[in-house]
């Protein structure tokens, strides 16, 4: 499969300089597609197209933008099985998960953006003036490989809804679903230059987007280290920077919770998307007196996981995305053993039944202490750290003892008690008692987990400037 063109100014065009990259299927370790890697001249061409398009697109009516969004939604629904299968091939998500979650939640961002747009008041009276909200301009969007379409949609949908134009760089590791999405945008008749896609890596294309003088805002999802680099490059042109970065979320299981149910649910939540999930509850905090029961419940949860071919609908966990990610997770599992954590389930190496593919054994460590590397670093694989506490106060202290602040989780039979603890967790989102992920509510982090919010009305307003008209 060759996908060597970029989508710029309403057409599929050749890159400025030929350079190709093979896309690897992580379940087979075989290259199954080729893309082109872009360079700064490609970004320049896309940014200039987006700037030209912004002059007219920013003036379009709500009705016009709703009509384009609706056509994107219809195209997305029609091609949803194809989009899901592409994500399974490019990043290893099991086909059932890719269909029900990866592709479906990406579609939801367009439905949500259309819902917000239909009712949004772009002007309101305040004092003796008018507050007006206007599209911020040309937006550079840099997205990761772990939720390839979800992260694209959570940025592109509000940008297009508000009247902005876009230069998108999907992850070069899993770019193919985004290229199918570009076909959907093209078929929807979105005006030329409003949406542009340039493939490439971070140093060549990502950095060119962050630094480009014609780009007014950059929205980045990825590692904290790369987010810092993006912000530094964006500072020279005083861009708005929105970032959704790393996480090391704590799951506090309070003494009055149903321990077994909470632990089992917590293990599965940690392993969502094979643990390649920025808000995964990777630190499980349990009362010290319940250590043995928690370990037993965690083993039971691990035993129920079906690790296998991601194209098999029965598989519940696939491989990690790449050799590099596989090696990073293996090193951290070994580090947990070396640091003296108790191996409750899993461990280093591939599962016995697999001889190819970047499969990692679902792993649980117990007796993890706050200073261990596995308790501090984002692992981004199916590795859970169980930590013990003696008092509620200590649990909150451990939960907040991290440079990250993306999400938190609290389990208790008493909703008021859970709320009291949730209020004290320094994170952008806290889930109580296994509540499902809500994509209409804001998502984003405190501390080194980022700046700004995505989803719903909060995500929509990230793409708007505020103007006061007085008199």
* 440 φ, ψ (degrees, to nearest 5): -95, -15
Question: Residue 434: how many CA atoms within 13 Å on its side-chain side?
Answer: 14
- Paired strand residues for 140: 167, 218
Out of 90, 207, 244, 461, the active site residue is 244
Distance CA 437, CA 188 (A): 29
DSSP 3-state of 166: strand
DSSP-derived letter for residue 98 is: I
- How far does Cα 358 stand from its chain's mean position? 20
Beta bridge partners of 411: 253
241 within 8 A of 211, measured Cβ to Cβ: no
Residue 247 to residue 256: CA distance in whole angstroms:
27
Q: What is the 8-class DSSP label of residue 272?
A: G
DSSP, collapsed to helix, strand or coil, labels residue 455 as coil
Q: Which residues contact 467 (CB under 8 A, 6 or more apart)?
A: 131, 132, 133, 134
**In sequence order, what DSSP letters do the residues of 299-363 get, joined into one string?**
HHHHHT--B--TTSTT-SB---S-HHHHHHHHHHHHHHHHTT-EEEE--SS--TT-SSS-----E
Q: Cβ distance 178 to 151 under 8 Å?
A: no
Q: Which of 139, 164, 270, 278 is catalytic?
A: 278
If you count DSSP H runs as helices and E runs as strands, how many of each does the chain have, helices first? Answer: 16, 21
Contact of 11 with 53, CB cutoff 8 Å: no
Task: Give yes or no: 244 in active site.
Answer: yes
Mapped onto helix, strand or coil, the DSSP state of residue 19 is: coil
Distance CA 293, CA 262 (A): 11
Specify whether the CB–CB gap between 107 and 76 falls below 8 A: yes
The string of DSSP codes covering 201-242 is -IIIIIHHHHH-TT--EEEEES-HHHHHHHHHHHHTTT-EEE
What's the number of CA atoms in the CB half-sphere (13 Å) around residue 26? 29
Distance in angstroms (rounded) separating the CA atoms of residues 146 and 462: 23
How far apart are the C-alpha atoms of 165 and 363, rounded to whole Å? 43
Catalytic residues: 244, 278
């Amino acid at each position: 499969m060759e996908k060597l063109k970029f989508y710029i100014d309403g057409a599929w065009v050749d890159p400025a300089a030929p350079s190709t990259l093979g896309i690897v299927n992580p379940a087979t370790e075989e290259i199954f597609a080729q893309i082109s890697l872009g360079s700064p001249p490609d970004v320049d061409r896309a940014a200039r197209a987006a700037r030209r398009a912004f002059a007219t697109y920013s003036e379009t009516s709500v009705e016009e933008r709703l009509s384009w969004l609706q056509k994107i939604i219809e195209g997305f629904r029609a091609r949803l099985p194809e989009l899901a299968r592409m994500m399974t091939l490019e990043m290893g998500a099991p086909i059932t998960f890719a269909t029900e979650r990866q592709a479906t939640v990406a579609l939801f961002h367009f439905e949500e953006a259309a819902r917000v747009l239909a009712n949004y008041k772009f002007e309101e009276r305040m004092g003796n003036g008018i507050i007006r909200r206007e599209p911020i301009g040309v937006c550079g969007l840099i997205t990761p490989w772990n939720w390839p379409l979800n992260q694209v949609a959570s940025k592109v949908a509000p940008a297009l809804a508000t009247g902005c134009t876009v230069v998108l760089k999907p992850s070069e590791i899993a770019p193919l679903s985004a290229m199918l999405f570009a076909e959907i945008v093209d078929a929807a008749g979105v005006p030329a230059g409003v949406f542009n896609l340039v493939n490439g890596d971070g140093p060549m294309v990502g950095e060119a987007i962050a630094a480009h003088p014609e780009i007014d805002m950059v929205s980045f999802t990825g590692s904290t280290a790369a987010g810092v680099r993006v912000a530094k490059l964006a500072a020279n042109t005083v861009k708005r920077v929105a970032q959704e970065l790393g996480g090391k979320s704590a799951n506090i299981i309070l003494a009055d919770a149903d321990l077994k149910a909470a632990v089992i649910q917590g293990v599965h939540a940690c392993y969502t998307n094979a643990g390649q999930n920025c808000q995964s509850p990777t630190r499980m905090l349990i009362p010290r007196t319940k250590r043995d029961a928690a370990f037993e419940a965690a083993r039971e949860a691990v035993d129920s996981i079906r690790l296998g071919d991601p194209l098999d609908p029965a598989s519940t966990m696939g491989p990690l995305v790449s050799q590099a990610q596989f090696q990073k997770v293996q090193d951290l599992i070994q580090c947990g053993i070396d640091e003296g954590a108790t191996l409750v389930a899993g461990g280093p190496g591939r599962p016995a039944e697999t001889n190819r593919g970047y499969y990692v054994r679902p792993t649980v460590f117990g007796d993890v202490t706050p200073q261990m590397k596995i308790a501090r670093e984002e692992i981004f694989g199916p590795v859970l750290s169980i930590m013990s506490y003696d008092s509620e106060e200590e649990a909150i202290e451990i939960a907040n003892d991290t440079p990250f602040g993306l999400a938190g989780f609290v389990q208790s039979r008493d909703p008021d008690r859970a709320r009291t603890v949730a209020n004290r967790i320094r994170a952008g989102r806290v889930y109580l008692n296994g509540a499902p992920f809500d994509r209409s509510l804001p998502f984003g982090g405190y501390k080194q987990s980022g700046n700004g919010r995505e989803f719903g009305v909060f995500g929509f307003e990230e793409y708007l400037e505020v103007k006061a008209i007085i008199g």
